[in-house]
Chains A and B, each alone.
Chain A
Amino acid sequence: MKALCWYGKEDVRIEKIADPKILNPHDAIVKITLTAICGSDLHLYDGYIPTMRKGDVLGHEFMGEVVEIGPEVKKLAKGDRVVVPFPISCGHCFFCNQEEYSLCDNSNPNAAVAEKMYGYSGAALFGYSHMLGGYAGGQAEYARVPFADIGPIKVPDELSDEQVLFLSDILPTGYQAAANCAIRGGDTVAVWGCGPVGLFAMQSARLLGAERVIAIDCVPERLELARATRQVETINFAEESVLEGLRELSGGRGPDACIDAVGMEAHGFGPLGWYDKAKQTVRLQTDRPTVLREAIQACRKGGTVSIPGVYGGLIDKFNFGAAFGKGLTFKMGQTHVQKYLPDLLERIARGEIAPNDIISHRLSLDQGPEAYRMFREKADGCIKVVMKP
C-alpha cells in the first residue's frame, strides 16, 4: 500500500510498503477513505517528539471501511463505515472504565519507555512515536486498528466523510478543552490558537454556555475565520498585548477560563521568545511555553487553565507562583475521544455542528509532503488539510 512515512525533521515521504495484517484477536483492518494532518503531526514534522523512527507511518485522524476483522471482534463487521479515535484504548482497564480512554493501561507495548519519562504511560496513539506505542498511523491506504470494538464509531451513510472525519480527534479535542473549563453561564473564555483545535474549542465553549469567547492568534485569515464563524472577539498577538487586551475584554477581572490550543511550539516574542527558541533548539528545554505563561498570568483568580495543546517535557521560567497565588485549576491531556463520540455524532447529525467548515485544502495522499509544508507554514490560507488515499 501507499503510506506517508516519517524520515526525520521536515522529511516525510510517500512510500510503498506492505499492507497491514491482523496481529491480535481484537484487531480490524480499515481501508482509509479520508485522512487529515493535525497540528500534533507538526510537532513530529518539526522533530520535537522523541522516539520516532525512520519509516514510521504517520497520521492519527482517519476513517474508512472495515475490510477485515480479528476473531474476537464482536461489534464491527466487514463493510462498516467507521471513524477511528486517535487514542488506542482497551475498554477494560481502570482508566477506560472511567472513560479516561487516553490514559488506557493496556495499549502501549512500549509503556516502559514512557514510564521512564513520565512515571506512568498513557494510552498508545496512532502514528505518534514509539514511546506512545509505535503503531502505524492512518495517512495511508490501510490501517490496523487494535481493540476495534472499543474505538471506532460507525457513522450513518447520510453523513459525508468530511462531515464526520474530525470526530477522530480535533472536534472532541476542542470539546474536551471547553468541557474541562466547567463553564457557567456568563463566563468569559479565552482561547489561544485559531487552528482547528482552537476553533472547535471556541465553538464548544459557546455550546456549553460561555457568554464571551476571545480568540488569540497572529494569522489574519485564521482570526478572520474565527470572527466569522465562531462569534468571538479577537486579539492579534502580533499587534497588541494579549494580557492588556484580555483584561480589557473581560471587564478587568480576567477570563474565567483560559484554553491553550497552541502547545509546545508557540510563537514567542521579545527576549523570552528568543530564550525559549534557543533553549528548545538545543533541547535544554523541550517545549516553548509562551502561551502557558500568558494563560496563567491572564486567568482570573480561581479560574481554570485548560490545555489541549501538546507538551512533551520540560519547561522553563514558569510562574508557578502565579498559579498558586490565584488558586488556579489546571486541566490537560490527550483527549478521551471515545467518551464524546456518541454525543458529538448526534450534534453533527442534528446540524448543530458542521466540523467540515474548517477544511481549507482537499488533496490526495500523494501530495502529503507538500501538504505538511503548507500546513506548517500556514501558507495559502491553510487551516486544515484532508487527503484521500
Chain B
Amino acid sequence: MKKVLILGAGTAGTIMANRLLRKLDKKDWTITVVDQHPKHYYQPGFLFIPFEMYTEEDVTRNKTDFLPKNVEYIQEIIEIIEPEKNRVKLQNGKSIEYHILIIATGTNIVPGEVDGLLNSSWGENAFDFYTVEGSVALAKRLKGWKGGKLVVHIAEMPIKCPVAPLEFTFLADWYFSKKGIRDDVEIKYVTPLSGAFTKPRASGVLSHLLENKNVNLVPDFNIMHVDGSAKKLVSFDEKEVDYDILVSIPTNMGDSVIERSGMGDELNYIPTHKHTLQSKAHENIFVLGDATDLPSSKAGSVAHFEAEILTENILHFIRNKPLKEDFDGHANCFIESGFGKGFLIDFNYDVEPVEGKFPLPIIGPMALLKESRMNHFGKLAFKWIYWNVLLRGWPIPMITAQMTKLGKKL
C-alpha cells in the first residue's frame, strides 16, 4: 500500500482528504491526516464575534465530523518534516512514512513579532480577532465600552484574508452607530500599505468608503513598537497614533514546524510553484492553502480552488504525467460593509477586482465591487456553504476554479 500524508486538517487539508478519497484507487492508496487540534473553526466567523453577531459555538465543530471514515486521522503535533527520508515525525515520537506529502499547515498570527505588543496589556486594551480567544475577549471589551479611540492596525503584509481588517472597521462603525455612541468613538485604520487595500481599483472604492464612514485612514505606517503604557503606536519614521482600544493584526507566519524543518522562507511560507502547487524543493511534496508563498490571497476560497486543481495534479503525478499549470490565483471574497450590506470581489494573479456581475454575466445576481444587500446575504450564507459544501470537497454551483472574465468590466 502507498500513502498520501496530509499535514493539517483546516480548510485546505480537510477539502483535500475528501476529494482525494473519491479519486484515489483504494486498492493501492491510503490517506492519513495529522492535526494537533480537535476543533475546526470557521475562521471567517471570527469577524462577527466581537459585534455579538456570532458566538463561539456558531463557529466551532469537531474536525472529525468533516473527515471521511476511510481516512486515518491522527491528533498530534507535527514535530518535523524530513523530506530527504520521505518521513514526518510527530511529537509523541512516532514517525510516518509517505509517498506523497500534502502540506496544509496554514498561517498564524505571531504577536511577539511586533515589539511591545504582548506587554501592552494584551487582552485588556490590545486585542486580535484572528483567533477565537482574541475575538471572544474583544467582544467582552466592546460590549461595555463607552467610547474613545479605536485603532485597527495591520503590522505587516501579507496577512490572511486581507479584507478582514476593513470589514472589522466597517462593522465597528455600524455597531457603535446602532448603540448610539458612534459620535463618541474615533476610528482609525492604520496600515503599512499606501491605501485601504492591496489592489488599486478596489483600494480606491474601499478608501472612499472609509471616508464616508468617517474613519481616518493612516497609510504607509510601518510599526516600530507599541508603547503600552502611553497607549500609542510608534512607526520607524517616528509617527505616532494614540489608542484606547487597539485591534491588532500582528505579523502572520507559517507554522513553526516549517521553520524546524528548514522548508520555509523568512515568514515560514513554503516556496511553491504558483500554477501547479508542487513544492519547489521536492517533487513528491505539494502545498496548498495559507502555507504557500504564492502571491495569491490567503483565503478559504483560494484553498477551495487550489484543492480542485491539486487533486488533478496528484493523479497526474501518480500516473507519471506532466502536471497541469492550471492554478491562476483565483480568489473570491465577500466584504461585509456594515448596515446589512456587502461587497464581492473576484480576482486572480493577473486581473484585479473590477465591477461586473457574478456568477452569471449580466444577470448576477451578485454585484462585483459594488455595495449591495445581496452580497451581505452571500457572506452570511457562506457559513452554511463552508460546513456543508466546501469542506466536503464538493464544487460550489456555477463557481469555477479558474477565474472567468465574463461579465467583468475590465
Asked whether A and B interact, the reply is: no
B positions within 8 Å CB-CB of A:
none
A positions within 8 Å CB-CB of B:
none
